[in-house]
């Protein structure tokens, strides 16, 4: 009888102890693919924000055309974005539909910056030159040739340098 008790005890311990010793892993909730943007700060006519995209922090500073309040304006947006794989990506988004192969010139004081277009967006050909001009300038004026005639978008650069500094700090360049 002792033999059976010992065998039964060993059998129970053999099944119970490993189960008790095994770490219990709770299913972790899946991480959201893209987190909602969070405002970093407001800097005169510019807003700095951050969001997560595919697990990476993306920071951007933006203003709206012809608006003293970029958060509530409805016009096209001028933005500068910092990603882990690209810094100072400069774009005008939400503008008119650009005809194929259209070039937009963004005039910042004496500097004329060329942007190439795709759909309703225009992208700086030289991001570093664009950021340098924005830091020195007060107004950026985009001149756009369109099917309905030329259009002009005006963006205030008041507050750009502080907003750019904020996104550089919030999303530092990878080493």
Does 4 reside within a domain?
no
For 46, the domain range is 38-170
Mean pLDDT along residues 108-136: 95
Task: Please count the structural domains in the chain.
Answer: 1
Residue with tokens 């972790």: 28
pLDDT of residue 40: 97
Q: Is the pLDDT of residue 103 over 70?
A: yes
What's the CATH number where 102 sits? 2.60.40.1880
Please give the torsion angle defined by the CA atoms of residues 125, 129, 132 and 133, in that order, rounded to the nearest 10 degrees. -80
How much is the average pLDDT of 136-161?
A: 87
What is the percent of the chain with per-residue pLDDT over 90, rounded to a whole number?
A: 55
For position 77, what pLDDT does the model report? 95
> Rounded distance, CA 34 to CA 23, Å?
31
Residue 5: band (very low, low, confident or very high) from pLDDT cuts 50, 70, 90:
very low
For the stretch 31-88, pLDDT in tens is 455 668 999 999 999 999 999 988 899 999 999 998 667 767 778 999 999 999 999 9
pLDDT of residue 106: 96
What are the phi and psi torsion angles at 28 (to 5°)?
A: -75, 140
> 38 with 50: CB under 8 angstroms?
yes
Hey, what are 28's tokens?
């972790």
- Give dist(CA 63, CA 71) in Å, integer: 8
Assess if residue 22 is contained within a domain: no
- Is 75 part of a structural domain of the chain? yes
Greater pLDDT, 84 or 24? 84
Q: Is the pLDDT confidence value at 28 over 90?
A: no
Residue 96 has what pLDDT?
78
Whether residue 123 is contained in a domain is answered as: yes
pLDDT value at 17 more than 60: no
Question: For residue 33, what pLDDT is reported?
Answer: 54
Prediction pTM value: 0.77
20 assigned to some structural domain: no
9 vs 103: which has the higher pLDDT: 103
Asked whether residue 27 is assigned to any structural domain, the reply reads no
Residue 25 lies in a domain: no
Q: Give a yes or no: residue 23 inside a domain.
A: no
Q: Report pLDDT for 97.
A: 82
CA distance 44 to 156: 9
Say if residues 141 and 106 touch (Cβ distance below 8 Å). yes
């Amino acid at each position: 009888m002792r033999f059976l008790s010992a065998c039964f005890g060993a059998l129970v311990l053999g099944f119970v102890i490993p189960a008790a010793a095994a770490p219990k892993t709770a299913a972790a909730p899946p991480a959201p693919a893209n987190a909602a943007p969070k405002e970093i700060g407001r800097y005169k006519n510019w807003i700095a924000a951050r969001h997560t995209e595919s697990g990476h922090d993306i920071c951007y500073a933006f203003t709206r055309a012809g608006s003293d309040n970029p958060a509530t304006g409805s016009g096209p947006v001028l933005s500068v974005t910092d990603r882990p794989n690209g810094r100072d990506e400069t774009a005008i988004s939400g503008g008119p539909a650009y005809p194929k192969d259209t070039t937009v010139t963004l005039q910042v004081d004496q500097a004329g910056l060329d942007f190439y277009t795709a759909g309703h967006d225009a992208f700086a050909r030289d991001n570093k030159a664009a950021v340098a001009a924005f830091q020195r300038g007060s107004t950026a004026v985009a001149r756009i040739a369109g099917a309905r005639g030329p259009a002009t978008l005006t963006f205030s650069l008041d507050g750009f340098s502080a907003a750019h500094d904020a996104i550089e700090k919030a999303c530092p360049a990878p080493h």
